[in-house]
Amino acid sequence: MEDIINTIDNKVQIIFERTSVTNMTFRDALWFTQEEYNALTPENILTLQQERFDNWEALVNSPPTESNDVIEV
């Protein structure tokens, strides 16, 4: 999917999608003011997108942790 760029209420929305090596799809959006968007290069935007994808992929691929904490209600 190519990035989709929208302008909504003077904000720029960039919708993007990545697919992991295990074939899971990550879809997200970055939001910027027009001034912030104008100051970014395409490389900056790709870096931000990749950081979001990498964080998501690390989260979904990390093994569950067991907690010994007791929560009393």
For 59, the 3-state DSSP assignment is helix
Residue 45's contacts (CB-CB under 8 Å, 6 or more residues apart) are 14, 30
- Each domain of the chain, given as residue ranges in start order, spans 4-50
Residue ranges of alpha helices (H) inside the chain are 34-39, 42-61
H/E stretch holding 40 reads: none
Instruction: Indicate whether 7 pLDDT > 80.
Output: yes
Q: For 11-65, how does the pLDDT look when each residue is reduced to its tens digit (9 = 90+)? A: 999 999 999 999 999 999 999 999 999 999 999 999 999 999 999 999 998 877 7
Report the pLDDT averaged over residues 63-72: 76
For position 6, what pLDDT does the model report? 97
Q: What are the C-alpha distances in Å from 31 to residues 2, 19, 53?
A: 17, 21, 15
Instruction: Indicate whether 73 pLDDT > 80.
Output: no
